[in-house]
Amino acid sequence: VGKTCLLLQFSDHSFTTSFITTHGIDFKVRTIELDGWRIKLQIWDTAGQERFRTITTAYYRNAMGILLVYDVTDESSFNNIRNWIRNTEQHASDNVNKILIGNKADMDESKRAVPTSKGQALADEYGIKFFETSAKTNLNVNQVFFSIARDVTQRFVETNTKQPEFWESTTITINRPEGGGDTSTQQKSACCGS
C-alpha cells in the first residue's frame, strides 16, 4: 500500500518506484518544529503481510499514534482496514491517536478502486481523521505526520499537569514498541517511561 514510501518521503524526502516489502519492522526518526516546539518523531514501519502479524501487534502496546494505510487502487487493502482497526483496538491503548490514509491518490482515476467518499465514511464511522496521500508526488505527506504529531502532543498537554518547560526536553515517540528499538539514539523522557 506504500507505507514505507510514505515514511521515506516524510523522513528522507525521497521516493523510489522499486517495490520494497518490509520484513518485520523498520523505523525512521525526524525532528520537527510544531507550534513552537521541537518534537522528535520516532516512526515505526510495520510489515503488512499476515506472516508478520504476531510481530507487528507487539508494537501497538506503547504506540502513541497509528497511521492506517490502504491503497486507493486496491479495494482489498481498503477492506482490510477494519481488521487493522480491530487489531489496534485489541493491542493498543484506548486513547491512541489514529489517522486513516488512502495512499496513491496520484494514480489515474480509471485505476481508482476506492472513492474518496468511501474512505471518508470509514474514518467518520470510527471517529478518526482521513487524508488521501501520494508518496510519489508528496501530496499531504507532511500534513499527515504533522497532524498525528499535533494530536498526540495535544493529548499529552491536556493530560499532563507539568509546566510548559516539561516539553522542552521531552521526546514524543510515535509508535514505539515496548522494549524494542535501538535505545542508544533515543532521548530519555519523563512522560513515556523510557
Q: Could you tell me if residue 54 is inside a domain?
A: yes
Q: Could you tell me if residue 165 is inside a domain?
A: yes
Average pLDDT over residues 15-32: 73
Percent of the chain's residues with pLDDT above 90: 55
Q: Which residues are CB-contacts of 166 (< 8 A; sequence separation ≥ 6)?
A: 160, 190, 191
Domain count across the chain: 1
The CATH number that applies at residue 127 is 3.40.50.300
Q: Could you tell me if residue 194 is inside a domain?
A: no
Looking at the predicted structure, is the pLDDT value of residue 166 above 50?
no
Q: Could you tell me if residue 84 is inside a domain?
A: yes
Q: Could you tell me if residue 9 is inside a domain?
A: yes
Q: Could you tell me if residue 191 is inside a domain?
A: no
Boundaries of domain holding 163: 3-185
Looking at the predicted structure, is the pLDDT value of residue 183 above 50?
no
pLDDT of residue 156: 86
On whether the CB atoms of residues 173 and 64 are closer than 8 A, the answer is yes
β-pairing verdict for 37-46 and 25-34: antiparallel
d(CA 127, CA 111): 28
On whether the CB atoms of residues 116 and 141 are closer than 8 A, the answer is no
- Assigned C-alpha cell, 185: 539514539
Give the Cβ contact number of residue 131 at 10 Å.
Answer: 22
d(CA 109, CA 97): 30
Looking at the predicted structure, is the pLDDT value of residue 57 above 80?
no
pTM of the model: 0.76
Instruction: Say which range, 86-95, 126-135, 148-157, 178-187, has the weakest mean pLDDT.
Output: 178-187
Q: Could you tell me if residue 93 is inside a domain?
A: yes
Instruction: Say which range, 27-31, 77-81, 125-129, 169-173, has the weakest mean pLDDT.
Output: 169-173
Query: Among residues 23, 92, 101, which one has the least CA distance to residue 57?
Result: 92
On whether the CB atoms of residues 81 and 122 are closer than 8 A, the answer is yes
Q: Could you tell me if residue 49 is inside a domain?
A: yes
d(CA 173, CA 110): 39
d(CA 155, CA 160): 8
